[in-house]
Chains A and B, each alone.
Chain A
Amino acid sequence: MSARFKPGDRVRIGDHNPPGHRRVPVYARGREGTIERICGEFANPEELAYGFDGLPKRPLYRVRIKQTDIWPEYKGSANDLLELEIYEHWLEPA
């Protein structure tokens, strides 16, 4: 598997709004985080959702984001984190 990112890398989640079934919630788009781990590679669910085979497989990463970077009015600890699993085609280096 060739993965573009490795654990510890800083990434930005794409701030795109394409139509159709997408695996990145709107609140996470455009946010920056850190690669926590590489989860493996999987057929692209955004294509499987329309009856295609989703190949070639895409690397999937667990991305760690500070809650205060997502929610401007977050009231919890500044150390609180959210981990989201994001496919490589949604990520760019930050």
Chain B
Amino acid sequence: MRRPNDIGGMPAGPVNPAGHEIEPWERLITALVSTVGPAAKKITTIDEFRRAREDLDKEFYDSLTYFELWAEGFVNLMEEKGVLKRSEVEARMAALRSRP
């Protein structure tokens, strides 16, 4: 079965090699992923994290940027492990958004 990451040789547009500014939340998700990973808390393996990203629905996967993929895979994997729930993350995001 072809998973959404496995697109080698498929028709696609040109690759845009331009760099971009790294946003603070992208640094944050990188730190969170490291914290639960094999070098720190050992809650997840890198293989599980990769699998969690590949488990995303193809249409959704294709709509996300690199670190958005990380964030979505991370939340699903943390829910799978019983560490937190997506609803808790969404409630916190809504609270932050409505801050004056």
A interface, CB within 8 angstroms of B: 17-22, 25-27, 45-46, 48-51, 54, 70-71
Q: A18-B1, A21-B54 are in contact. Are A49 and B6 (CB under 8 A)?
A: no
Residues of A within 8 A of B8 (CB): 25-27
Q: A27-B8, A71-B9 are in contact. Are A49 and B51 (CB under 8 A)?
A: yes
Binds A, one of B29-37, B42-50, B59-67, B86-94: B42-50
Contact present for B47 and A45 (CB under 8 Å): yes
Contact present for B48 and A17 (CB under 8 Å): no
What's the A-B contact tally at a CB cutoff of 8 Å? 37
Q: A25-B6, A26-B6, A27-B8 are in contact. Are A50 and B1 (CB under 8 A)?
A: no
State in angstroms the CA–CA spacing of A73 and B54 once bound together. Answer: 29
Pairs across A and B, CB under 8 Å, 10 listed: A19-B1, A20-B1, A21-B47, A21-B50, A21-B54, A25-B8, A26-B9, A45-B47, A48-B45, A49-B51
Q: What's the interface size class on B, roughly?
A: 10 to 19
B interface, CB within 8 angstroms of A: 1-3, 6, 8-9, 45, 47-48, 50-51, 54
